[in-house]
A and B are shown apart, each in its own frame.
Chain A
């Protein structure tokens, strides 16, 4: 037993600041455990297959989305195809968005799109990976539609009042991908260099793309 567990005075308390992962307590958590255990017991899926699937999803990252945006920046014809039929256009690059309609939204000097799913957490996961925790939070979901400018300021993103902010609520069968504005002075950059300027948040619309030096503008 180390000295910290004895009862001497030593000027600090032992409050645990980092909470442990909470034990399941909601109905849906028990439901998930019950269904998972039944699937394993009935040999429908193995525990390993379930873990592999979770790991595969966790490995997905926003890079695919960034490749699509970079292509749209350098190739106007591709951008037009992306805007008119997202699924077909991304298939050209070898990406599939199964059974959902992929809709690209172009940010311009007059219009800034910002995506939210107020009902749950709809997100183009196959292209951007698992959504960040804040995207699924009640706070973001309720505030994005009502005080988008305050939310953007908290992301460090200032959009002039003369630019229309269009909050896009992803309520149904569509998945939205924002095409951020291409930063200035990037005409000579290669597609691979441009990919590095395209962040996850710039494809959700809570930020702009990085500048030509890879910095926040």
Chain B
């Protein structure tokens, strides 16, 4: 499957609330981040969870977020602290 994003691309995480086995954490939905790694492609966990084969495989990326993007200052972190999460392409859109 073609790689949709490049390292350094700005992306936004979808903020949908579909039912099912979702591997996109709730606290990052709607947040903007930067692609820092492409891990390759993997069977879609949202289909695997229902006994399907998860094909076609989908790209998985490591996305880096500023703490403020998720918490808007309401946390215990320093300027420059970050969070990463591994997000499948179906949950990412280019900004």
Contact = CB atoms under 8 A, between A and B. Distances in A.
Contacts of B27: 118, 145-146
A150 B76 contact: yes
Interface in B50-95: 60, 62, 64, 70-71, 74-88
B45 interface: yes
A171 interface: yes
Q: Is the interface of A mostly helix, strand, loop or mixed?
A: mixed
Interface string A169-183: 111111000000000
Contacts, number: 79
Interface string A141-153: 0000111111000
Interface stretch (A2-10, A40-48, A159-167): A159-167
A166 B82 CA distance: 5
Contact of A172 (B71, B76, B88): B88
Question: Chain B interface secondary structure, helix, strand, loop or mixed?
Answer: mixed
Q: How large is the interface on A (under 10, 10 to 19, 20 to 34, 35 or more residues)?
A: 20 to 34
Chain B interface residue count: which class? 20 to 34
Given A118-B25, A146-B71, A161 B39 contact: no
Contacts of B47: none
Nearest to B80: A164
Nearest to B40: A101
Interface string B29-50: 0000000000110100100000
B25 A172 contact: no
B25 A149 contact: no
A148 B77 CA distance: 6
